[in-house]
Amino acid sequence: MKLAGLMRSSTLDYPGALSAVFFFSGCNYDCFYCHNRSILTGPGTDMEISEALAFLEKRKGLLDAVVLSGGEAALQIGLTELALTIKAMGFMVKLDTNGSLPEVVRAMLEKGALDYVALDYKAPWRRYREIAGENADPEAVKETATLLFDAALPFEMRTTVIPQLGLDDMLEMAREMPVLPRYVLNPYRMPETYREEDLFRLKKPPHTPDAIRAFAEEVRPFQPNVIAY
């Protein structure tokens, strides 16, 4: 296992904590607006895990947490063991996931390897494959969400409010899920790396911050813990 990238310090990636972010290459989804396209297919040879752990050793007492992100981190063989190693060093561990691998999340929960999970909620279930590619599996995402509810683990679901999602979609999504402990609406920004054939979708004018805040107020009756950034 190797890292495709390491963010040494972030105040944004773990709610209320100072974290490092481990990025892994590879993803089984294909969101046209992916911001990490450059690491999806890369070999991920930037940093050995031992190097990343040595970095963490020096940050004991300075960092609170480590975020396992990607790409899709849950595709990595040995992720549970890595998370347990990081926790044994005294850090909290958060997993960022597209929700496609509930069996991995289940195993990590059973072993107590996670403190927080951010689960992507890309679109209404009926539009999942249109937005996240042919491999996207809404049933797996639902199963992952159910595991998180049952585990009573702190978690959030999060939606990038791409231009292709309108108010009707946002309301549909808000109603599709039980009340979430935290539901984050993130603004869309055009990615730096993309496929030419996706340009017509990427160039659609984004919703303004005011429009996203207005969406949040519309969905609040169904998801009272919604936050718009």
The residue ranges that bind ligand SF4 (CB under 6 A) are: 27, 29-31, 34, 36, 70-72, 98, 120, 132
Phi, psi at 110, each rounded to 5°: -60, -30
Task: Give the Cβ contact number of residue 106 at 10 Å.
Answer: 15
Closest approach of ligand SF4 to the CB of residue 152, in Å: 25
For residue 141, the minimal CB distance to ligand SF4 (Å) is 10
DSSP symbol at 179: P
Smallest separation, CB 98 to ligand SF4 (Å): 4
CA-CA distances (angstroms) from residue 8 to 13, 89, 114, 186?
Answer: 12, 16, 20, 22
DSSP 60: B
Alpha-carbon distance 174 to 180, whole Å? 9
90 vs 84: CA distance, rounded Å: 10
The label of the residue with tokens 């808000």 reads 174
Cβ 93 vs Cβ 117: under 8 Å: no
- In angstroms, what is the minimal distance from the CB of 201 to ligand SF4? 14
User: Among residues 72 and 137, whose Cβ is nearest to ligand SF4?
Assistant: 72
- Measured from the CB atom, the residue of 5 and 71 that comes closer to ligand SF4 is 71
In terms of Cα–Cα distance, which of 106, 104, 183 is closest to 148? 106
Beta carbon nearer to ligand SF4, 84 or 125: 125
Q: How far is the CB of 30 from ligand SF4 (least distance, A)?
A: 6
Task: Report residue 7 as tokens.
Answer: 């963010």
CB of 83 to ligand SF4, least distance (A): 19
Q: Is 86 exposed, middle or buried (0-12, 13-18, 19+ CB in 10 A)?
A: buried
